[in-house]
Structure 1
Amino acid sequence: MEYYDIIIVGAGPAGSTLARALEDSGKRVLIIDKQAFPRDKTCAGWVTPAVMASLDIDPGKYSVGRTLQPIRRFRIGMMGQSAVENDHGDIVSYGIRRCEFDDYLLDRAECEKQLATAVKSINRNNGNWVINDQWQAPLLVGAGGHFCPVARLLGDGPGKHETVVAAKEVEFEMTPEQARACEARGDTPELWFCRDLKGYAWVFRKGSYLNIGLGREDNHRLSDHLEAFVEEMKQSGRIPSDLPGRFKGHAYLLYAHANRPLVDDGVLLIGDAAGLAYTQSGEGIRPAIESALMAANVIKAAPDYSALSLQSYGERIAERFGTRATDQQPGFEVPEWLKQPIASTLMRSHWFTRKVVTEKWFLHQEVPPLEVAV
Structure 2
Amino acid sequence: MDYYDAIIVGAGPAGSTLARTLESAGRQVLIIDKAPFPRDRTCAGWITPSVLDSLGIDPVSYSTGRTLQPIRRFRIGMMGQQSPVENDHRAVVSYGIRRCEFDTFLLERVTSQKCLATPVDSIVRRNGNWVVNERWQAPLLVGAGGHFCPVARLLGEAPGGHESVVAAKEVEFEMTREQAHACETRGDTPELWFCRDLKGYAWVFRKGRFLNIGLGREDSHRLTEHLEAFVASMKAHGRVPEELPGRFKGHAYLLYGHAHRPLVDDGVMLIGDAAGLAYTQSGEGIRPAIESALLAAETILRASDCSATALQPYGERIADRFGRRDAGIEPQWQVPHWVKQSVASALIRSQWFTRKVITEKWFLHQEVPALTPLT
Superposition TM-score, scaled by structure 2 size: 0.98
TM-aligned CA deviation for residue 24 of structure 1: 2.6
Name the counterpart of 2:32. Answer: 32
- The SS at the match of 1:338 is coil
Q: CA offsets, 1:300-319, max 9 Å, x none?
A: 01000000000000000000
Is contact 1:165-1:331 (8 Å) kept?
Answer: no
Name the counterpart of 1:224. Answer: 225
Cα distance change of structure 1 residues 329 and 87 upon mapping to structure 2, 3 Å threshold? closer
CA distance in 1, matches of 2:243, 2:70: 26
TM-aligned CA deviation for residue 107 of structure 1: 0.3
Is contact 1:42-1:169 (8 Å) kept?
Answer: yes
Q: Which structure 1 residue ranges, 5 or more long, are not aligned?
A: none
CA distance in 1, matches of 2:265, 2:337: 35
CA distance in 1, matches of 2:196, 2:54: 35
Cα distance change of structure 1 residues 140 and 162 upon mapping to structure 2, 3 Å threshold? closer
Name the counterpart of 1:214. Answer: 215
TM-aligned CA deviation for residue 326 of structure 1: 7.6
CA distance in 2, matches of 1:278, 1:308: 27
Is contact 1:162-1:330 (8 Å) kept?
Answer: no
Is contact 1:72-1:187 (8 Å) kept?
Answer: yes
Name the counterpart of 2:23. Answer: 23
Name the counterpart of 2:69. Answer: 69
Q: How many residues align?
A: 374
Corresponding letter in the other structure for 1:178:
Q
Corresponding letter in the other structure for 1:16:
S
Corresponding letter in the other structure for 2:221:
H
Written as runs of structure 1 = structure 2, the 5 A alignment for 1:1-374 is 1-81=1-81, 82-325=83-326, 330-373=331-374
Corresponding letter in the other structure for 1:27:
R
Q: CA offsets, 1:126-166, max 9 Å, x none?
A: 00000000000000000000000000011221111341000
Is contact 1:165-1:216 (8 Å) kept?
Answer: yes
Is contact 2:299-2:314 (8 Å) kept?
Answer: yes
Which range moves more in the overlay, 187-196 or 158-167? 158-167
CA distance in 1, matches of 2:34, 2:303: 29
- The SS at the match of 1:291 is helix
CA distance in 1, matches of 2:110, 2:162: 33
CA distance in 2, matches of 1:132, 1:162: 28
Is contact 1:257-1:325 (8 Å) kept?
Answer: no
Corresponding letter in the other structure for 2:290:
I
- The SS at the match of 1:43 is coil
Is contact 1:163-1:331 (8 Å) kept?
Answer: no
Corresponding letter in the other structure for 2:59:
P
CA distance in 2, matches of 1:162, 1:309: 27
- The SS at the match of 2:257 is helix
Q: CA offsets, 1:112-136, max 9 Å, x none?
A: 0000000000001000000000000
- The SS at the match of 2:24 is coil
CA distance in 2, matches of 1:286, 1:88: 20
Q: CA offsets, 1:316-361, max 9 Å, x none?
A: 0000000002866644152112123111011011111000000000
Is contact 1:142-1:273 (8 Å) kept?
Answer: yes
CA distance in 2, matches of 1:231, 1:289: 35
Is contact 1:170-1:212 (8 Å) kept?
Answer: yes
TM-aligned CA deviation for residue 372 of structure 1: 1.5
- The SS at the match of 1:257 is coil
Is contact 1:39-1:99 (8 Å) kept?
Answer: yes
Is contact 2:199-2:334 (8 Å) kept?
Answer: no
Corresponding letter in the other structure for 1:206:
K
Which range moves more in the overlay, 333-342 or 78-87? 333-342
TM-aligned CA deviation for residue 26 of structure 1: 1.8
Cα distance change of structure 1 residues 92 and 249 upon mapping to structure 2, 3 Å threshold? same
CA distance in 1, matches of 2:6, 2:320: 25
Is contact 1:166-1:249 (8 Å) kept?
Answer: yes
Q: CA offsets, 1:272-314, max 9 Å, x none?
A: 0000000000000000000000000110010000000000000
- The SS at the match of 1:258 is coil
Query: Root-mean-square deviation (CA), in Å?
Result: 1.1
TM-aligned CA deviation for residue 236 of structure 1: 1.0
Corresponding letter in the other structure for 1:368:
P
- The SS at the match of 2:338 is helix
CA distance in 1, matches of 2:11, 2:306: 21
Between the aligned residues of both structures, percent identity stands at 75
Is contact 2:280-2:334 (8 Å) kept?
Answer: yes
- The SS at the match of 2:7 is strand
CA distance in 2, matches of 1:162, 1:228: 28
CA distance in 2, matches of 1:223, 1:326: 33
Is contact 2:49-2:93 (8 Å) kept?
Answer: yes
CA distance in 1, matches of 2:84, 2:330: 28
